[in-house]
Structure 1
């Protein structure tokens, strides 16, 4: 496995562990607390990551390998089966699905990274670009969740609050 694939595999393999630790440790009120109007709670981020693991990245990965074009994906579409699960169930389901995805990733050969296909909005894309996006997506929504978790603590930090201004949700950046 080349360095790019090793890095992506490392990122993708750590995300489920991080989420299992978060939902196994933090109270539900903190996980579900919306950080600001229109922003996602930590739990919303986990639900979205699970949707992406079920309906987006492995599906697109398989399409690449089969030489098929990619279908569009609506990240705001709600899925009742995800909403009905507890945080621990969501994290466990995500971990199980991610193990399946990691097994897929192990099949990639260096020469596969240059494969191209058509995205309905972005045009021609490569498998390497999809894999970069998958890792960045994991990190983005985990950081987003952690930022949501930070909000009540930043608000209560008194004179130290100014150190966290870059992380406040719903506050215009200067």
Structure 2
């Protein structure tokens, strides 16, 4: 567990640049394209990680340091909604600024903080180590989800190579 802090930091440091690259390079319509009506687009994934960076992870780190309870979060009910004028690049830059502040907070943590506990509103007692693993995993999970959404319109055009993409196709049933 002693390598948890640098491992988490390494993941959290890479995520803003990855979102910036995607939003500065890919066409807006591809970023907004949902793979299925009830699945998030890449842009919705980015909006969600902005919400969690603003409302969840730093707040939860501080709550656990104090041994406090913190509420659960429902992205569908409490999350920000995309609008037609949402700028992907501006959103990625907002995420980058928020993450810079979060990394400063992360740098204040010590290995003895990893066993400190707080109480999640739905899940009950959680440790700082649990939260930090979740934070890094959450970043990677939503990057993967975004990339899966971006991949979908290309799969059907693969012709004979389709066999190599079947495990990446988002099921329609």
Name the TM tier (shorter chain). Answer: over 0.9
Q: What TM-score does the superposition give when structure 2 sets the normalisation length? A: 0.93
Asked if 1:69 is matched to 2:74, the reply is no
Any runs of at least 4 consecutive aligned residues in structure 1 with deviations exceeding 6 A, and if so which? Answer: none
How many residue pairs match? The answer is 171
C-alpha root-mean-square deviation of aligned residues, in Å? 1.6
Unaligned runs of 5+ in 2: none
> Who is 1:160 aligned against?
161
Corresponding residue of 2:142? 141
Pairwise CA distance, 1:171 = 4.2
Alpha-carbon distance, 1:120 to partner: 1.6
User: Residue by residue, what CA displacement relative to the aligned partner does 1:88-132 show, whole Å, maximum 9, x if unpaired?
Assistant: 110000000000000000000010000012112111110000000
Q: TM-score, normalised by structure 1?
A: 0.93
Mapped partners of 1:78, 1:58: distance in 2 = 16
Per-residue deviation, residues 59-97 of structure 1 (Å, max 9, x unmatched): 1111112221121111213425x6453001100000000
- Segments of structure 1 that go 5 or more residues without pairing to the other structure are none
| Alpha-carbon distance in 2 for matches of 1:33, 1:117 | 38
SS of residue in 2 equivalent to 1:157? helix
